Structures are given as structure tokens and as C-alpha cells.
């Protein structure tokens, strides 16, 4: 151990060995550097131990161990937390990445999904039965963080947020208890994990409601970066056809074969369609999207649903340096569109995207107090997500994303989606949870009075 290495307790592995079946990785082990890595390279932390849990028993043992010894505990599902909450210095990382089992029940149209699954795992397993549920738009993102934060994706307008499709969780709480939560049983916890983040415990398995969605019409249509295109997109969403998931993106042209080379690396906007309606309306939908403006390039085809959620996978691999901000808007005000045009023109890299998720339709049919996710009056959730190849470039772009966010602020609601904001937004917890914060605090106080689960958008007990 060098002088600059923080002191660690050499007995951690020995102490855990008897109660944990999964692998234990400590500094000095050959795969320590791999085990400590998270998706966002900005967070280069050195935990004292990484526990690669294989079952709920491992989770209970690790939670109890960290609590009793007063160690910092980071819980990692898919490791995509932009704020780097899936790792920590000197503490314990509970990595659920080996817990990837899924059981689909086609009879009840539900899937039980272990806490370390990614959306690729879920989409593949459910597609085999012609079923799907709302999930993230990048297949490598974990179900754990995304679901507990609320969860948005292409199917949200038709099927609701991810947390709206959650019918049950198995949860390990701070005192090491294993609780099954439903709307009838431990219903306070069930309510809280639908949007309250990782504050209440470790979800070892999620049960999701599934929908008969197998193949879709989907893919991107690119347009010049122009306010009129975005205003026409706003009209398209206002038509209210919930079968059309349509993500607006603003960024730089990616080098894909269906976009002419002269547009590669140049500012543009695009609509990623995901039409879940009947096939005989495909042409109408394709034309409707193309009517938003002069089409620079498009690839809108019949696809298996899992495929639409892989379109961005290669663009944003693990190892980039990312720093995000988020906003909710009611409608899509002209001022927000002006900000997209101004800041979109100076998007810092091809991997950096402004993503605008419509969250109307089924998301609005759930009341603001029915789940911890309160922004049921928001029509759009915006992610400003710069991703750069070096730490220095990323640090330099913090000013850009800060200015962009400030430009959006007059047209945004007070809070933002907790999964689209960074750790320096902790002071916005009240705004992010609004009227639900008092009840969330009560639940937190009851189940985690010592704030063991604090590496998240923290609801302080
Ligand atoms: P992790 O880093 O593993 O965990 C993040 C947080 O979640 C931690 O605080 C952890 O404690 C908690 N957590 C994780 N697993 C569990 C569990 N099993 N039980 C309890 N707590 C847990 N969000 C969307 O809604 N829709 C999108 O389409 C979307 N796309 C994204 C694309 C990319 C490339 C990235 C980087 C992020 C995206 N996000 C999206 C944001 C995403 O929801 C968050 O980054 C989320 O935290 C990722 O979850 P994870 O399990 O991968 O993260």
C-alpha cells in the first residue's frame, strides 16, 4: 500500500467470505480495476471491496455488513448512473450484475426480473413471448436505477412510465430484512420505490406488467436543426396518438450510411419513432414524421421491439466522460425550442445529445401522489447529456451544459427527473419530489433511519 492509498481493512474479504457466495474483489486483485469501473468514466473511485452478489442472501449479508461496520455502501445495478452512484471510495460496492435471471409468465403477462438485469436482458426475454414493457432507450442501461427513478422510454405514452408497470418488488432494507412489496403488502415501500430512487433498499427482483407488443415501426428521421421542425414535432405529439413513441433528439449528425456524409458532425435534429400501432398504418406514420421538415436521411423500418432500444448502444459505450442536466416542461415552449437551436448548434461531440422524451398519455393517467414520481403534469422530460472522450473535455463542457440548462430554466418546471441530473443537483431534491417529499421522508425515516442508502438523489431521513 502506498502512502496515497486510503487505509483499508484487510479483513473485509475474510469477514464476508462465510456469508457471501459471490465473488469478492479487493484492491490488488487482478480484476480489481475492472470491478471498480462504472459506465461514466468521470467517476474513478477506489472501493475497499466489490461484492459481486449472486442471490438475495448475498445482498442481505452485504447490506448487514456495511451497516454494522459503518461503511459507505454503493449499490450497482447496470452501472449507468451519470452521477456515479454505483461506486464509492473506500466503502463497499454491492454489484448486482451477476443477478440477471428473468422469468416471463405469459399467462399473467408479467415478468420477474432480477435486480442486476439490463434492458437488453428484459427485452430479449419478453420478446420471445411477443410481449414488452416500457424500458430505457439504451439496452445496456440497468433496470435497477432506471425503474426506481421512474423510468421513461419509447412505450411510455402508451404503457406508462417503467414504475407504472411495476407490480411488485423484493427488497432488502437497511436492517437486512427481505420484504416483498405490492400495493397490498408493505405498500408504503411499494409506493416509494416507484420513483423514489435507491433510497429505500436494494431491489433483488422487480415484477413488471407486460403488453402485447412484438414488432414495431421504428428508427430515426433526421432534419436540419430548425425551430419550425421542432414546432411541427410538438404538433405531432399534441395529436395525442399514444401508440407513437417519438423521441426528439438534437445533436450532431452521426456517421451512419443513411445520412449523407456532408451532414456527419453537423448540427441537426431528429425524431426516433417507435410506432406500436397496426402495420397497415406504417406508411402513413412514416410520411407523417417525414412531413416535419426536409428529410436529410432516415431509416424507419419494421423492427423487433428489442432492436429499437439498441440504436444508441454503439454511440454511447461505457468509458465516456458524462455530465448531465435535466428538465421537465409543460408543452414545449417556444423559449425551450430557441434554447435547443442555440445550444444544439454548439453540441460538443457526436456522442452528446439533447434527448426530449414525451411523457404524456398513460403517464398522465396516474395521479401525482399515486407514486413517488410526481411530475404527472409534465409533457416532456429533457436530458442534456454531453459525453466526451476525455476528462478535460468533459470538465470544459460543464459550463456549456450549465448555460444550456439556465437558458431552459424560464421555460421549465421547478424540478427534474432524478435520473437525468448530476450529483451537484442534490439541493433540488425538494423540487424533484415536490408534494411527495414529506411522505418519502417518512418512509425513509422508518426503513433507513441511519441513511445507509445515501448514494442516490438522497431523501435525508
Ligand atoms: P446504477 O449506476 O447501477 O445505479 C444507479 C442508482 O440506482 C444507484 O443509486 C443505486 O443505488 C440504484 N440502484 C441500482 N440498482 C438498484 C436495485 N436493484 N435496487 C435498488 N437501487 C438500485 N433513463 C430513463 O428513464 N430512460 C432512458 O431511456 C435512459 N437512457 C439512458 C441512457 C444512458 C446511456 C444512460 C447513461 C442513462 C440513461 N437513463 C435513462 C438514466 C438512467 O435511468 C440512470 O442512469 C439509472 O441510474 C441507470 O440505472 P443503472 O441500474 O444502470 O445504474
| DSSP output for 342-356 | HHHTT--STT-EEEE
Q: From CA 367, how far away is CA 162, in angstroms rounded?
A: 15
Neighbouring C-alpha atoms within 13 Å toward the C-beta of 398 = 13
Q: From CA 293, how far away is CA 289, in angstroms rounded?
A: 8
Tell how far the Cα of 145 is from the centroid of ligand 1, in angstroms. 3
Q: Which residue has the cell 412510465?
A: 161
Question: Probe ligand 1: pick from 81, 82, 123, 312, max atoms within 8 Å of CB?
Answer: 81
Does the beta carbon of 56 lie inside 6 Å of ligand 1? no
User: Which numbered atom of ligand 1 lies nearest the CA of 204?
Assistant: 18
Which three-class secondary structure state does DSSP give residue 298? Answer: strand
Other CB atoms within a 10 A radius of the CB of residue 259 amount to 20
Tell how far the Cα of 144 is from the centroid of ligand 1, in angstroms. 6
Q: Indicate the domain borders of the chain.
A: 19-95, 102-212+434-447, 215-425
Beta strands 244-252 and 353-358 are antiparallel
- CB of 126 within 8 A of CB of 206? no
Does the beta carbon of 362 lie inside 6 Å of ligand 1? no
Question: Which grid cell sits at 17?
Answer: 467470505
Q: Comparing C-alpha atoms, which of 440, 332, 435 is closest to residue 378?
A: 332
pTM for this structure? 0.96
**Length of the chain (residues):** 461
pLDDT (0 to 100) of residue 11: 74
- CB of 455 within 8 A of CB of 73? yes
**Sheet with 166-172: strands ordered across:** 102-105, 110-114, 202-209, 166-172, 178-181
Question: Probe ligand 1: pick from 141, 352, 388, max atoms within 8 Å of CB?
Answer: 141
Does the beta carbon of 115 lie inside 6 Å of ligand 1? yes
- CB of 230 within 8 A of CB of 332? yes
Does the beta carbon of 76 lie inside 6 Å of ligand 1? yes
Which three-class secondary structure state does DSSP give residue 81? Answer: coil
User: Which numbered atom of ligand 1 lies nearest the CA of 82?
Assistant: 45
Question: In this structure, which topology does domain 19-95 adopt according to CATH?
Answer: 3.30.43
Question: In this structure, which topology does domain 102-212+434-447 adopt according to CATH?
Answer: 3.30.465
User: Which numbered atom of ligand 1 lies nearest the CA of 146?
Assistant: 43
pLDDT (0 to 100) of residue 2: 38
Residue nearest to atom 21 of ligand 1 (CA): 198
Element containing residue 103 per DSSP (H, E): strand 102-105
Q: From CA 78, how far away is CA 136, in angstroms rounded?
A: 12
Q: From CA 156, how far away is CA 257, in angstroms rounded?
A: 29
Q: Which residue has the cell 456549456?
A: 400
Element containing residue 172 per DSSP (H, E): strand 166-172
Does the beta carbon of 195 lie inside 6 Å of ligand 1? no
Q: Which residue has the cell 478535460?
A: 392
Does the beta carbon of 93 lie inside 6 Å of ligand 1? no
Does the beta carbon of 387 lie inside 6 Å of ligand 1? no
What is the full per-residue pLDDT of the chain (461 aa) written as tens digits? 333 444 444 578 989 999 999 999 999 999 999 999 999 999 999 999 999 999 999 999 999 999 999 999 999 999 999 999 999 999 999 999 999 999 999 999 999 999 999 999 999 999 999 999 999 999 999 999 999 999 999 999 999 999 999 999 999 999 999 999 999 999 999 999 999 999 999 999 999 999 999 999 999 999 999 999 999 999 999 999 999 999 999 999 999 999 999 999 999 999 999 999 999 999 999 999 999 999 999 999 999 999 999 999 999 999 999 999 999 999 999 999 999 999 999 999 999 999 999 999 999 999 999 999 999 999 999 999 999 999 999 999 999 999 999 999 999 999 999 999 988 877 889 999 999 999 999 999 999 999 999 999 999 99
Question: Probe ligand 1: pick from 145, 154, 174, 178, max atoms within 8 Å of CB?
Answer: 145
Q: From CA 293, how far away is CA 235, in angstroms rounded?
A: 13
Does the beta carbon of 203 lie inside 6 Å of ligand 1? yes
Tell how far the Cα of 261 is from the centroid of ligand 1, in angstroms. 34
Does the beta carbon of 455 lie inside 6 Å of ligand 1? yes
Tell how far the Cα of 143 is from the centroid of ligand 1, in angstroms. 7
Tell how far the Cα of 94 is from the centroid of ligand 1, in angstroms. 15
Question: In this structure, which topology does domain 215-425 adopt according to CATH?
Answer: Vanillyl-alcohol Oxidase; Chain A, domain 3 (3.40.462)
Does the beta carbon of 96 lie inside 6 Å of ligand 1? yes
Amino acid at each position: 500500500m502506498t502512502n496515497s492509498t486510503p487505509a483499508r481493512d484487510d479483513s473485509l474479504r475474510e469477514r464476508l467470505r462465510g456469508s457471501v457466495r459471490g465473488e469478492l474483489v479487493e484492491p490488488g486483485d487482478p480484476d480489481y480495476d475492472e470491478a471498480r469501473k462504472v459506465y461514466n468514466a468521470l467517476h474513478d473511485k477506489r472501493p475497499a471491496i466489490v461484492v459481486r452478489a449472486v442471490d438475495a442472501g448475498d445482498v442481505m449479508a452485504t447490506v448487514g455488513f456495511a451497516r454494522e461496520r459503518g461503511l459507505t455502501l454503493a449499490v450497482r445495478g447496470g452501472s449507468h448512473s451519470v452521477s456515479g452512484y454505483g461506486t464509492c471510495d473506500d466503502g463497499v460496492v454491492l454489484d448486482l450484475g451477476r443477478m440477471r435471471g428473468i422469468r416471463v409468465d405469459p399467462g399473467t403477462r408479467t415478468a420477474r426480473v432480477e435486480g442486476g438485469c439490463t434492458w437488453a436482458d428484459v427485452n430479449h426475454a419478453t420478446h420471445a413471448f411477443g410481449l414488452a414493457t416500457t424500458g430505457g432507450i439504451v439496452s445496456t442501461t440497468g433496470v435497477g436505477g432506471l425503474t426506481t427513478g421512474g423510468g421513461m422510454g419509447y412505450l411510455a405514452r402508451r404503457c406508462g412510465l417503467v414504475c407504472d408497470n411495476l407490480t411488485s418488488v423484493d427488497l432488502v432494507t437497511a436492517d437486512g430484512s427481505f420484504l416483498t412489496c405490492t400495493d397490498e403488502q408493505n405498500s408504503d415501500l411499494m409506493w416509494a420505490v416507484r420513483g423514489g430512487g435507491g433510497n429505500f433498499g436494494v431491489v433483488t427482483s422487480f415484477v413488471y406488467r407486460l403488453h402485447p407488443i412484438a414488432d414495431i415501426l421504428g428508427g430515426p428521421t433526421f432534419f436540419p436543426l430548425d425551430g419550425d421542425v421542432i414546432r411541427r414535432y410538438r404538433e405531432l405529439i399534441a395529436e395525442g396518438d399514444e401508440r407513437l413513441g417519438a423521441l426528439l433528439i438534437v445533436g450532431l449528425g452521426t456517421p451512419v450510411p443513411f445520412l449523407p456524409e456532408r451532414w456527419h458532425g453537423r448540427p441537426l435534429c431528429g425524431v426516433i419513432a417507435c410506432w406500436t400501432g397496426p402495420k397497415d398504418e406504417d406508411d402513413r406514420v412514416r410520411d407523417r414524421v417525414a412531413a416535419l421538415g426536409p428529410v436529410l436521411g432516415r431509416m424507419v423500418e419494421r423492427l423487433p421491439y428489442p432492436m429499437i432500444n439498441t440504436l444508441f448502444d454503439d454511440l454511447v459505450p461505457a468509458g465516456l466522460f458524462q455530465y448531465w442536466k435535466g428538465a421537465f416542461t409543460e408543452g414545449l415552449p417556444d423559449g425551450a425550442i430557441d434554447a435547443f437551436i442555440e445550444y444544439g448548434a454548439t453540441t460538443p461531440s457526436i456522442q452528446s445529445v439533447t434527448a426530449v422524451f414525451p411523457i404524456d398519455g398513460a403517464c398522465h393517467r396516474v395521479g401525482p401522489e399515486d407514486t413517488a414520481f410526481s411530475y404527472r403534469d409534465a409533457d416532456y422530460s429533457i436530458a442534456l447529456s454531453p459525453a466526451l472522450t476525455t476528462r478535460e473535455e468533459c470538465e470544459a463542457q460543464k459550463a456549456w451544459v450549465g448555460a444550456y440548462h439556465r437558458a431552459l430554466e424560464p421555460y421549465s418546471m421547478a424540478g427534474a427527473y432524478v435520473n437525468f441530473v448530476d450529483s451537484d443537483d442534490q439541493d433540488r431534491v425538494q423540487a424533484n419530489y415536490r408534494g411527495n417529499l414529506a411522505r418519502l421522508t417518512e418512509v425513509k425515516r422508518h426503513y433507513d433511519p441511519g441513511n445507509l442508502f445515501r448514494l442516490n438523489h438522497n431523501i435525508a431521513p
